[in-house]
A and B are shown apart, each in its own frame.
Chain A
Amino acid sequence: MTWDRLAPLLGEAFGQTAYMVLITLAVGGFLGLAIGLGLYLTRPGNLLANRLVFAVLNLAVNVVRPVPFIIFLVALGPLTRAVIGRTIGIEAFTFAMCFMASFVFARLVEQNLVTIDPGVVEAARAMGASPFRIVRTVLVPEALAPLILGYTFLFVGVLDMSAIGGYLGAGGLGDLAIVHGYRQYDWAVTAVVVVIIVLIVQLVQWLGNSLARRALRR
């Protein structure tokens, strides 16, 4: 394929990938943080200890997370139809990505929060801080560096998920590589897509690392 023909295809695919990844990062980041905080706070012995809520959240994360994404897409079908209205297309695919990313990030968030020294939380309680204030002023700031690294990790995972977007007709860079590179034996297309993805990941990882280093005051 010539560059003249590839360039517009690349542009379109890049736009689709950016759409899927950015929405998933926003939604998955927000919900993942919420569910992760929920897991941490309701854990027995913690600030809002609640055996039932913890068990439900924990089960949900454990059930969703290990399912291979391509199977998860199909399994989520009925819910996708109920929420989005259809089971194919970029919106339907992005919905499934948001769902999976929320649960993946939730576990990352929880794992980073448990490393916070409980003494610091106790000190904030001793000063009369409410649980909500402790989340905002102690838990998130104290775990900020690992949270940023976890979010960077999530980005790479989400980019990976987006590669099978073609499966539901969502397009994207992965789809381009499969349709034009793999199926039409056009190695140049595959190579260009791979290089672009590697560059994006390198850039984001570098950004994540340097932000985390700035957040780390130790």
Chain B
Amino acid sequence: MSSIISFREATKVFPAPRGRGREVRAVDGVSLDVREGEIFGVIGYSGAGKSTLVRLVNALETVTSGDVVVDGVSLASLGEARLRPVRAGIGMVFQQFNLLSSRTVAGNVAYPLEVAGWTRAQRDARVAELLEFVGIADKAGAYPSTLSGGQKQRVGIARALATNPRILLADEATSALDPETTQDVLALLQRVNRELGITVVVITHEMDVVRSICHRVAVMEHGRVVEVGEAYQVFSAPAHDVTRRFVATALRDRPSPAVLERLRTRHTGRIVTVGVDEVAGSSALITRVLREHGVDGTVVYGGITEVAERPYGSLTLELVGDAGAVEEAVVALRAVTLVDDHGRADR
């Protein structure tokens, strides 16, 4: 896969407010490639620089040094007037939707088509098609103030797709939505990627968003990319502290020390946490190992979820049986997956 967006030592410095404070290096020497056709996530806490990073792609902000190459075009060398057509070829959706309150749903979706110089007939046909695609054809004549958050974001997505862009930028597109609506909008972004072949860059502070739809992810902190890789890899083996904290927010399958303490008071057997993922330790495999050793395994904590549409998680088991058999079972489990042995309660 070729790269469609390429950051090359991209740096964006905002000057200090007059007279006081320090300049802000919002993006600090980022080199990164987004591949054509993927859903690429950028995750980080507020102020990590991810919003500025994504605005370098459609030149709402321009680099202080370095370069951003989009679809073969180097943006650092272009002036404001030459950047406008580049922007028109990239769709963007926003956390607060940013719809024009003075226009109807159809009028909002038609806006980028007017900018691009489509005729009225072409616009009407395209708007109808887009509203159908995002599932709000019945709201064409409504004003944004009468819509729910999820409907507004569908309008935002339809508007962003209007001119058939090759890239869609989603800046915290689901952060203002409730969990259920978030899932709907994420599913829509996934459809945009699959059915239309559009490269999607998702900015988020929610690891759940990355878990649900991203193929690859970059983790940002203080303007730098501290970790980048396949979403599944980043989840299963986070290398950086920030990444680990984010992973912990999305996967709550491992018992905390306090939870473990409570488990020990309820369960007298040996407690182990076994990893479950695509390669190692499917639950069927774990069950079989235990049965072969004549050990009873009871699930006392844990969960298995999907990361990048592949199974991932862990199960915490209470193993009960002959002491020697349990020991052998643990050794056998270690051969097939990662095992955290919490031992037995001392009593």
A residues at B contact (CB < 8 Å): 117, 119-120, 122-130, 133, 137-138, 141-142, 144, 215, 217-218
Contacts and interface: CB of A to CB of B under 8 A. Distances in A.
Contacts of B96: 117, 119
B98 A137 contact: no
B102 A126 contact: no
Interface of B: 58, 60, 81, 84-90, 92, 94, 96, 98-103, 111-112, 114-116, 143-145, 159, 163
B115 A129 contact: yes
A127 B168 CA distance: 12
23 contacts: A119-B94, A120-B99, A122-B98, A125-B60, A126-B92, A127-B87, A127-B88, A127-B115, A127-B159, A127-B163, A128-B85, A128-B88, A129-B84, A130-B84, A133-B115, A137-B111, A141-B100, A141-B102, A141-B103, A142-B102, A144-B102, A215-B102, A217-B144
Contact of A218 (B84, B88, B101, B111): B101
B319 to A, nearest CB: 55
Contacts of B85: 128
A122 B169 CA distance: 13
A218 B94 CA distance: 20
A122 B60 CA distance: 8
Contacts of A217: 101-102, 143-145
Contact of B114 (A122, A137, A142): A137
A120 B111 contact: no
User: Secondary structure at chain A's binding surface: helix, strand, loop or mixed?
Assistant: helix
A123 B159 CA distance: 10
A190 to B, nearest CB: 44
A217 B103 CA distance: 8
B145 A218 contact: yes
B111 A124 contact: yes
Contacts of A215: 102
A130 B163 CA distance: 17
Contacts of A125: 60, 87
A123 B95 CA distance: 11
Contacts of A124: 111
Q: Which of B81, B86, B98, B163 has the most CB of A within 10 A?
A: B98
Nearest to B104: A217
Nearest to A218: B145
Across the A-B interface, give the 9 residue pairs with the lowest CB-CB distance, nearest first: A128-B88, A123-B98, A141-B102, A119-B98, A127-B112, A128-B87, A126-B92, A128-B84, A217-B143
A120 B100 CA distance: 7
B100 A138 contact: yes
A137 B107 CA distance: 11
Nearest to A119: B98
Nearest to B143: A217
B158 to A, nearest CB: 13
B100 A128 contact: no
A119 B81 CA distance: 21
B111 A128 contact: no
